[in-house]
Structure 1
Amino acid sequence: GQATYAAMFEAIKTAKDHINLESYIIEDDETGRKFADLLLEKQAKGVLVNIIYDSVGSMNTPASYFQRLRDGGIQVVGFNPINPLETPEKWGLTHRDHRKILITDGKIAIIGGINISGVYSSSPLRRKQTEKAPIHWRDTDIQIEGPAVAEFQKLFLDNWQKQEGQEIYEGNYFPDLKEEGNALVRVVGSKAGQTNRITFIMYVSAITFAEHSIHMTNSYFIPDDQILNALTDAAGRGVDVKIILPGISDSQLVLYAQRYYYSRLLKSGVKLYEHSTSLLHAKTAVIDKVWSTVGSTNMDYLSSLNNDEVNAVILSHDFAVEMEKMFVGDLADSRQIQLDEWENRPLLPRVREWFVNVFSQWM
């Protein structure tokens, strides 16, 4: 998290035209106040600052935090307000903005799984309100420059318009962008609903066509049948499928739900690991050492059906090599789940996992 925040602070400090920030959680803690102070400073210097926060993800943040930003000239929009009388769209409490995007001058985008919070999690109802996390959080963001930044900008402005934010003052939101580096980058954004499961279609397609390896980390793993079938079929045709999942979670129920799927995956040849030294919050994958993705999308029903999400897909051997190095490092901090050990675990955990899985579509 600290490396990502350092990159975000640097991008904000060097911005000259505008800063667009979209985050599921923005908290009024030390980290959130550092962002607020810097954004207010940039606004005062004439840089246009626009912020979208999720009204449920940030429900514990006092209104005074956002009012201070507004008083300083920053335009702020709460996504899908909890109060149905305040929402411009058809109201639905489960439709959330789970994206984490920072765009500066239309030239730099930083995206991934990190919220604006010293202690962040998927749900404010489960989040502990402490200044220091009880355990280190392991997450991944990436910085992107070049033509792909325009696609993140479009997603931000589309959500701003749909939430009926104030008219954004004229800025150079789409500057001419030259290609940076040799990687091919595709921006994949999804909206709530069965017909907009673009990030999941992306995952299923990549897994289905994998030939050699699938190395994935995910923080909330409650896969649907399509994902399960794609993973087990890949293992069945000899693909090296390794998945690192949380061994520690901010939600015990989600941990029980994810473990419900272990037996089927292990029997098919999928290798499973639980990260044991940190609370894993990353959502990444690298396939065949050439296809990689980093973003906000969890392997659960909330991400699939109810959330606005965004991932970057990168086609680059060099980038995939760096992703593989990170994956190997995470493996070193993880415990492999063995099938024989798993099949012989006590009855109580089995019953608990089965029972929690009944309600998995609401997690």
Structure 2
Amino acid sequence: MMRPPHHRADTEADTLLHRGAANALERARRLASLLRPGHGPREGGPVRRHAHVLMRALRQRLVAGNRVELLIDGPATYAAMFEAIAAARERVDIESYIVEADGPGEELARRLLAKCGEGVRVNLLFDGFGSLTTRSAYFDALREGGVRLCEYNPLRSWRRLFSRAVHLRDHRKLLVVDGRVAFLGGVNISGVYSSGSGSASREDAATPWRDTHVRIVGPLVSELQALFVGHWNRHACDPIGLPDRPPPPHQGPHRAAVASCEAGRRRNPFYRALLRAIDAAHERVWITTAYFVPTRRLVRALAAAARRGVDVQLVLPGRSDAWAPLHAGRSHYGRLLQAGVRVLERQGALLHAKTTVIDGVWATVGSANLDWRSFVHNAEANVVVLDAGFGAQMEAVFREDVAASREVTLAQWHARGWLQRASEALARRFEFLL
């Protein structure tokens, strides 16, 4: 059984919390300074047009009265999440593709066990493949301490490794506390996020990971709570119920919707909504994604938008933790560049964010990459926000990533060497699985 963390762990946790909160505050100030004059909320044509397209694509109404706050990189995200957990009085629901025992995972366990000791109900849903290397003692200690666990699609036999089920994964990263605050995005519970992407200049630092998460308060939290409960009840032995409480009151100006999909389902509301938003774009489509293995339909939509004069820019990884998706994605550069799409590869950090902002008013943050895994094989969850103010913040972050990127030109792509061409051709053969 895991022993209770000692005083040193408490001190390190407090340091992480304070450092993350300070980073989040500084980043918020920087974003505010980057907003151009006149970029306040515009309830004009672009918002109305995209709201109409989004509701038709998702087949649901937008939820008003929310406040969605950007969290950049791991330290700021963990600080905000741990603060919310510390304030929990009734219930904590957490879902993550990866849950590691060390780093933030150790601090998470300490806080969850402390909450169980206070009588708070804690439910943890984790993916059997994403958390495959996490030692069983970690989960045993959580279970013994009162945390209810659900392992999504566990790999308990060699037979499952050769079945289609091995591809069906829970890739969501979701936290809901007391039905009043929720967190969603690309940040797993993993030590790779111990330093933010702003630490890239330190020579002694490990490669930083660049990611984006959001904190949400308002009525949309009820939908995220229901999303968690529904997913848990489809995969756990002991079902849980929805809290018997009214929806949270209005907390801010943002209209938003949840775009989620189940693993292995051909119908993907987020993919449909993204394609229709690109088709409806009049000014710009700015995309940041960690894994870019696009469908032919997505490539056509991006190319068509660029040809009709839309500013289409893609910030993609310059290096990756996965060889095949990186090269499979690069094999599509030629068609995109010929159509006028700008392709930029992020330098100085390992890009893991999954965000898009269209026409400055349609913005999404979540777990879904632009690859076949997210479109077909994974359970994913994104929030889509229709708001010019939030869109302006997203565009400010995008510009920061562009400034830290290297642009790929058509001439450079044509001049690439035979080894890169061979890598692209090989990876492209398996893109449906990537």
Counterpart residue number, 2:208 = 136
From 112, 115, 119, give the equivalent of 1:46. Answer: 119
Note if 1:184 corresponds to 2:252.
no
Distance in 2, Cα, partners of 1:9 & 1:180: 21
Query: Which shows bigger deviation, 159-168 or 71-80?
Result: 159-168
Which TM-score applies when normalising by structure 1?
0.92
State, as a whole percentage, how many aligned pairs show the same letter.
42
Give the structure-2-normalised TM-score: 0.78
Q: Which residue number in structure 1 is paired with residue 408 of structure 2?
A: 337
2:232 pairs with 149, 160, 176, which one?
Answer: 160
Aligned amino acid, residue 345 of structure 2: E
Matched, 1:108 2:167: no
1:153–1:173 contact (8 Å) kept in structure 2: no
Aligned to 1:96: 169
**Secondary structure of the corresponding residue to residue 182 of structure 2:** strand
Q: Is the 8 A contact 1:260 1:354 kept in 2?
A: yes
Q: Which residue of 2 aligns with 1:55?
A: 128
Any unmatched runs of 5+ in structure 2? 1-73, 194-203
Inter-partner Cα distance in structure 2 for 1:79 and 1:286: 31
Partner SS state of residue 178, structure 1: coil
Q: Return the alpha-carbon distance in structure 1 between the equivalents of residues 137 and 305 of structure 2.
A: 51
Question: Quick one: distance in 2 between partners of 1:196 and 1:273?
Answer: 30
Q: Cα gap change, 1:235/1:196 in structure 2, threshold over 3 Å: closer, same or farther?
A: same
Counterpart of 1:30, as a letter, is G
SS of match in other structure, 1:92:
helix
- Does the alignment pair 1:299 with 2:370? yes
Residue in 2 aligned with 1:352?
A: 423
Contact 1:150–1:174, Cα closer than 8 Å, also in 2: no
Which 4+ stretches in 1 moved above 4 angstroms? Answer: none
Contact 2:232 2:239 (C-alpha < 8 Å) held by counterparts: no
Matches within 5 A, 1:1-363: 1-83=74-156, 92-119=165-192, 134-168=206-240, 172=243, 174-363=245-434
Residue 348 of structure 1: CA displacement?
2.6
- Judged with a 3 Å threshold, the aligned counterparts in structure 2 of structure 1 residues 260 and 107 are, in CA distance, closer, same or farther, namely same
The Cα of 1:216 is off from its aligned counterpart by: 0.7
- Point out the structure with the larger helix share: 2
Q: Which residue of 2 aligns with 1:126?
A: none
Structure 1 residues 306-315 or 185-194, which shifts more?
Answer: 185-194
Inter-partner Cα distance in structure 1 for 2:227 and 2:254: 21
Superposed CA RMSD in Å reads 1.9
Distance of aligned partners of 1:148 and 1:175 in 2 relative to their CA distance in 1, 3 Å threshold = same
SS at match of 2:139: helix
How far off its partner does 1:356 sit? 1.4
- Give the AA of the match of 2:178: D
